[in-house]
A = this chain, B = another copy of it.
């Protein structure tokens, strides 16, 4: 499985690279900083989930429009890391073992690179309207295609904003200012659902939307994304306790920072058990969908299972 994931990661990287801006002109410093942040070695989970969901539903590889949205979701994810790492936020000088964007380019460029990635994500995704792949999804006509792109843009914006990722980030920052004992399970759930799960939901929903899935199927993908996202974040909290220096930050940093996590609230055993349950729930929902038996459906299912036991 890990060989296949490596191959898919390379495939995703090649797609994203196609949409990175050229490092030229009087703004080249910020473009350098954008591309550095994107290329610093992410796992590409979000665009990979989007790509395979698209393929599962459509049975086709996907053209320029899919590629643009894959690049956009990774750009938005990357901007959120750039800004999270800033001195006024988590103040991390390292990200995946490398200097974080502001540590390498200075604080002003750390802010501007994040802004630029968020804006450019929309610029690239909006470019889908003028893309060459006349048929997005199986047998989509021009009118259908436009509606799908409009819906996908709407999901992209909503899940990244104040009703999605940003809401989670705000709640997270505010929770850090509290005593760990004051942070409730409800708050932790809200943070995980929005800060982490929203962008995974977005990836799955956009893949399905561009492939022409119906509203009920898109809703199922959202629920799968919620399961996978929560499991993903709990796994992160577990790895912070049990090890995995490949995360790029010291083991036990949450605990030393006095941060309430899923593990501090529920204990390690329950956390491990919940990751397992959430993963089973996601895989079970996926198996009900058309296409789940094809190559991409099977890969998606295995990818979700592998995320639950990942060590970085």
Binding site for B on A (CB under 8 A): 21, 25-27, 29-31, 34, 79, 83, 86, 88-89, 106-112, 114-116, 118-120, 122-123, 126-127, 129-130, 143, 146, 150, 153-154, 157-158, 160-162, 166-167, 169-171, 173-174, 187, 190, 194
Contact = CB atoms under 8 A, between A and B. Distances in A.
> Quick one: copies of this chain in the complex?
2
A25 B171 CA distance: 10
A162 B83 contact: no
Chain A interface main SS type: helix
B167 A25 contact: yes
Contacts of A190: 26
A171 B109 CA distance: 11
A170, A174, A190: residue with the most chain B Cβ atoms closer than 10 Å: A170
A154 B123 CA distance: 6
A263 B194 CA distance: 48
A154 to B, nearest CB: 5
Contacts of A31: 162
A138 to B, nearest CB: 22
A30 B170 contact: yes
A25 B160 CA distance: 16
